[in-house]
Structure 1
């Protein structure tokens, strides 16, 4: 199997609190990997470790054959990211905001127009960012992640705060990206119905631990064997998390 991102017992502790606990991931090249979990499960912390924004307490990870921390800068050059709500300079245009990122990354000028075209903002590139709708701001954030067409995208809640129309637009855009330019997408979201429509593989995190990793078909088989409902991803996810929470409570009583 050709994995472009692997983690090995990745762990992050904050004093006595364990945010991410021995997480081992296998993300296939060219896939969309849905990274799921309740609030506080450790998804964002895991993504921040992969981006070098916080250091692991234990464990290791490899991205496209490069090892952290030795190859940290080389890894960052291959990864486009969208973490939480993107912020922009309100009195600059969309194009000017992207140009700042482009210069930091040392990319050619043409990458700005290319990214705007990818997200459908070409005709709004010269509009001030403060005049963008929320959906347009999310698209601009994605354009920043797409600058230079990196082989790997890490997207944390890219549809957060959008109306149904905006969610539909962003979902279709993300779904098209692997075929459009052969990239791999790691995406977290609370919109499980959206993830079900785009993801090839699923990772489910709860209290910092990985409960499941595999394809949607693998998840259905796992759910069937566990006696869970298999009607949709949300039902399977909730059943798995609730079972884990119940077993944690039981262990705490012992």
Structure 2
């Protein structure tokens, strides 16, 4: 099986707090990998390590056969990212915001119009970013990640704060990306009910540890064997998290 992103016992320690604890991920090429876990589980920290924004305390990772840290620059050229809330210049237009990124990345001029069209912002390209709705700001952030059509996208909770219509729009766009772009998507969320609508594979993280990794069908089988409704994976997910929380509380007492 061809994996585009792999991590091996990847860890991140902040003084006495272990944010990521020996996580080994296997993300298939041209798939959507849903990275799940409650707030503070270590999802964003893992993504920041993959982007070189924070160094690992232990373990290794490889992207497209390139290894960190020796291939850091080459790795970054293959990734488009959307981490936490999108950054933009409020007094510039959507098009001008993307133009800054395009110049930094040394991409062709057509990259901006291409990204705007993909996220449905072409008609609003001349509007100041401060006048964008929250949904439009999220789409602008996605457009920045999509500039130059990178083969890998890392998206950290891109539907945060959106209304149901906005969530549906972003979900449909992300779901279409592997086929339209021939790309791989790593997307985080704290809601399994959202991720199961778009993901091929999932990894469940809690307290920095990977509790499950595999296809959605494998999670459904696990749910059935443990007495959960295979059509309601959210209950299985929440129970898995609570069970792990209980184990952590027990360990803390020792």
- Please state which band the TM-score falls in when normalised by the shorter chain: over 0.9
State the match for 1:32 in structure 2: 32
**Residue ranges of structure 2 left out of the alignment (5+ in a row):** none
Map Cα deviations across residues 105-128 of structure 1 (whole Å, 9 max, x no partner): 111111000000110111111111
Map Cα deviations across residues 146-180 of structure 1 (whole Å, 9 max, x no partner): 00000000000100111111001000000010111
Of the structure 1 ranges 240-249 and 42-51, higher mean CA displacement relative to structure 2 is found in: 240-249
- What is the TM-score with the length of structure 1 in the denominator? 0.97
State the match for 2:18 in structure 1: 18
* Offset, 1:96: 0.5
2:167 equivalent to 1:173: no
- Give the paired residue count: 254
State the match for 1:63 in structure 2: 63
- What is the TM-score with the length of structure 2 in the denominator? 0.97
State the match for 1:131 in structure 2: 131
* Offset, 1:13: 0.0
Alignment of 1:1-254 (within 5 A): 1-254=1-254
- Distance in 1 of aligned mates of 2:2 and 2:13: 30
Alpha-carbon RMSD across the aligned residues, in angstroms, is 1.1
Q: Quick check: 1:153–1:186 contact (8 Å CA) kept in 2?
A: yes
- Distance in 1 of aligned mates of 2:16 and 2:252: 17
- Distance in 1 of aligned mates of 2:193 and 2:247: 26
User: Secondary structure at 2:30's aligned position in 1?
Assistant: coil
- Distance in 2 of aligned mates of 1:221 and 1:76: 37
Q: Quick check: 1:228–1:239 contact (8 Å CA) kept in 2?
A: no
* Offset, 1:181: 1.2
